[in-house]
Each structure stands twice: as structure tokens, then as C-alpha cells.
Structure 1
């Protein structure tokens, strides 16, 4: 079906941070399948783990557990710093992880202020949480939402980073008029909105409000998690989360290094017991092959120091692109290896096309911004190669007057 438009290239193989198309051209992959291929392409540890697991036990259904599934759940809880009583629900994708969180929020309805009910869910303008119906209800972009309305109700979208609007949504007047809040769902950095970071202190303020109201604080780390920003999760960085402990974190993309796997991590016994037996399920979620891929990916990130590499190489990308002084580039924002190159004109599509012609895979995430989310194995030299492209790239200004003689 024509849901993605014509493919830009036909890719046939990859190795490390490079991919090759059907014509034999090589490209430096600065997108990693949209922040998915954390270990690059064809990583030997990942491919060996998946092959070995599939050769032993591939699928068993959710009537049974497997050692890899249990080990991955325990590892995620450890890396997230989740307290005693926390649990994991495995999925196949980020949108499914958000759907699980959506259902948890629906179950968090009773016990509002004064004994009332919590009927509202809050999300932020610019947020992207997926395209299945519950996740789509949380996603703010009208072009994604409108063809499929009516969506699941009770969701309000607040202005991005506006603490006054957040205060109003939790105020006594809002609760009396519209009901209590069951959950606030947000991304520490909004990837699809152009890699926008929440203002300093916003998450901590949100945590105070949600805790007081008995609402869940749900952090969508589908794109920012698993080392992408230079820590296991973006909320763990002091300048982002300020020590915040959320109620639910959703994760996917980089977790399997390219193999489909996601998870909703519930922090503490209250959040972990909101979904009871028979209230949610998945056939493939947490299957042993996906769990083996997740364990291998997390193991390589730790073994090879890829959190530090994401921070260091991300700094190289940022500083060298900005230092080049291209008048088309207004700056670089983001954290680790999730960055956006801000352009001075709305020519991101043209820049992305020029990058592909020059041998670089990037993403025009907004009319005036290019997203970079390369594999966490990217080297400093490869980052400098990318920076040289941004130093030299030019796009004719279509709005400039044509001085040619008629």
C-alpha cells in the first residue's frame, strides 16, 4: 500500500554504520532506521545471539516463560532504576508499548480528589506516540489524527513546555469542570517535532503535580531510550529529569538493535498491578528471539562503552557542524546521538536529498530541520565526514529574485 511514498533507494546490505543500495553505492547511515539500529548493521554479537536462540527455541506463546524473557525484564528494571515491585510488559513495537500504558491509565480512574474519578489523559502538542488508535489519540499532529476520528476520548493536548498550562490542567477548577487526570504522557525529547527538549525543571514539576493528583507520569522513551541520548534513559540525566522517578516508561526502537521488541516498564507495585489477568495480551511480545536480541544489544552497549561513545561522538557532530559556519545552518540541538540540524530556511527535503546523493542517510524531520540518529557505534571520524557535508551543502533560494536577463 502507498503509505510511505516511493522508496528513496533499494538497500540490500549493511555493515557497521554503512549500508549499500542495489546499484552498489555506499551510504553512511546517520538515521539507523529511525533510531533503531543501535549497533549498526550486521553486528556479530547480535546476529549470533538471534541465530542461537532461534535454533534452540523460537516461540512458545504467553502461556509459558523463557529464561531470556525473564533475564531481559530483570535487566530493564535494573537499568531503569525501577523500585521493588516493578514489572515489565513486553510488546513488539513502540506504539504497542504506548497502548499498554494507555490501558494502564484507563485503569487508573478511581480515587481522584474527593473520591472522584480520573477521566482525562494529558499529552503535549508536538508529541508523537504512535499510529495505533490509543497511541494516535495521544499524538497531537492533526494530519495523523483527523482521517481516523473519532479516536479514544478524554485526551487533552497542552502547549509544549508550558508549566502554566500544566498547572491549569491539574487545577481544582479544571478537575471540577472536566474531571481528574489519570495520566500525563510525554517525551523527554520530542523526536518527530524536531528533537525538542523539554525546558529545565518541567519534568520535575510534572512529577509533583501527577503525584499529588494520583495521576501516572508516563515517559515515552521509545526513541530516546537504550543509550540514544548518552544514558540508558533520557530521564536519568540530571539536566533532563532532575532525579524524577516516573510511573511508566515505554521503550522500543533501539532495544532489539533492529529486531522488533518493545516494553512498557511499570515502576512500583501500584503501577505494576493496574493491568490484571486477561486485561491485556500479545502473541509475539517477549518471545525468546526478541528477548535474546534485547539482551545482546544491551550487553554490547555496556561492554563497548557505547553510552560514552554516544555522548562523545554526539559532541563531535554538534561542534563540527556548528563550527563550519554554513549560512544554511542555524545550529544543532539534542543530546547524545539524537540531534537536529536547524536550518535557516525551510529546505530540509532538499538537504536530505542532497545528503543521499552525497552518500549520507538523514531525515527531514521538519521543513527546516534535519534529524540525525546514527548507530551508537558511529566513530568520530565518521561524524567528521558527516559534518563536512553540512559544511558544504547549499540549496538555491527559490524566493530570491531572478537577475538573469529575459
Structure 2
């Protein structure tokens, strides 16, 4: 059994151009296909690809928009021919005619205005534009994960500093905001945050009792379930995008989402509806006064941190080289055999503590003193 080939689709940029030419918004196109606007946004950016019946419906709609664009395009007419100039003829005498009344002129249709050419931005300007566009929302989202205002702000700044260090890669990414969001979430949910001194001091909770209860409910969820819930019901990503950002399979992500919703609905039954939960998460993040630093400050902080790391690496390398040179200088130049291990000597009497001699020892000593020891006479040299 063989599968039928997938329906061909135009490139992502062509999909967006066809939608904009037909004067359709992403929400309108999503309603016609039967998906969410976030899914259409992902299709047009190339991050995901439609499959199955959604792919067939999307391809059919794009084909219809392409045909309508072809019909609306004006057909080129024949080029006008140049007539030879006629010789001037004498005008015949005519009677004066009454002046003609002015006729209403048909209103001319407005000519399409050409789109201005895109202005090339420097890397710093592009980074500042990305930061100004996404940093405030990312700080609010990270606050839902940690419940700490300062930690949320610091996590987003560290994520943007990492993006500035890898700016060529981030600038070419299909979703730069998603790249920064994933980095900020990883830093905010790192287990090392618990070892920091300020983590021991709790921050003041939200003033509204409902917001305080919702935040406490979120913080009781496991980090993975909490992140999945914020991405799907808070940010508005679809299930495949949430699974890709959390580095999990789609069934595992769906299971985490269901368990997180059950936990929230068990404590707050009014939030069992996903639409109500989405609205309450947005209200909770918006009610807090969360500010992000200025883009130049973040860029300078990242550059300063990179310089410190570079200097530390250079200092460590110099210390390692010095230690290696000292070891080579002081090391022996010839081989010295190791000392052989000791061996036990047998036949040696055991050591006894000093004390008075016994009768046998006294008798033996007296016997040795009384007997004459005969031996060879001493030889002395003589002169002959």
C-alpha cells in the first residue's frame, strides 16, 4: 500500500504575499481553513508545514487566491502606432457656435502607490527593534513561570544578551522571538536559581486576591507542565510549536497540558474553560508593573560580560601554561628506580624488655668469664 503524494504548496513568502494581495488577515484566512491564526502565522513563517486535510484545504485556498490575482492583473494591450504628421489644411469658415457646457469628468481611479524600498538596518538597530517589540511581553510571560519580578527581568536580559552574542544566527532564524523566549525560559526555570541568596527572600505577592490565587496555583505545577500551559494557553502557540519549543513529543506535550489544566481547574473551577484561562493569564501578567531595561544597556551588558569571560579564559590559559612550564622545568631528567619493598628477616630473637637476669643467665655469664678463650697468637713483624 503506497501513500498518495502530498499536495504541493508555494513557498512561505509566496503564501503570505497571496494572502496580503487578496486583502485577507491571518484571522480571516484561518477561519476559512479551520485553524487558529497562530497556525497560519507558523505556516507563513515556514516553522511548520500543514498536513492531511488541512494541507489540502490550504493548498486549494492558495490556488484560488492565485487565480484571482491572475484575473485582476491587467492584460498588456497593443503598443500605439505612430501616425505620420498630417499637413496643415486651411480651416473652412464656420459660423460661431455657442460655447459648449463643461461636462463632468469621470473620476480617475487612484493609482497604486509603490511600496518604499526596505531600508537596510545595522545589526544594532535590528537588535534594538527586536528587543523593543518583544521584551515587554517576554518579561510578563516569564513572570508567570517564576512569580518573581526581578528574576523575570534578568532572565529576559540574559536571553537577549545571548542573542546579541549569536546575532548572525538569531537574525537568520525563522522565529527570532521564539529563540529568545526559549532561552529566557530555560534560564528562569534553571535549578541553580534556588541557590541564589535572593531566592530565599520571597517577593510581595499580587495585590488582587484572585491574581494571588492564580499565581500560587501556577507555581505549584511542575516546571514542565507550567511552561507548557503558559506557551499554549498564555502565549497562544499551537500544540506542535509548543512541543518543539519544550523539546518534547506532541503526545507528551498534550498530556502535560491536560494535567496542568486539571490542576488549575481543580483549585479554580471558573478557569476550566481555556478561553477564560487565557484571558486570566493575560490579565495576571498585565496587572504587574514589569519594566524592561533599554536596548543599549542590554547590549553593553552583554558585551561587558563577553569581555570578562574572554579575560578569564586568557588568564586561565596563561596559568595553565605557567604551571606546565614549571612542572617541565623541575621534573627529573633521568629514571630513578623505586625503592624495593621491605622483607621480613627470620631467625632474629624477639625483643624483650630490660630487667634482672635469671639464674640460668647468671650462671652462663660466670661460666664465660671463668673459661680462657684460646686463640691464635698475635703476629708482630720483626726485622731480620
- TM-score, structure 1 length as denominator? 0.26
Which structure's residues are more often helix, by fraction? 2
Structure 1 or 2, whichever has the larger Rg, is 2
Q: Which has the higher strand share?
A: 1
RCO comparison, higher one (Cα < 8 Å, 6+): 1
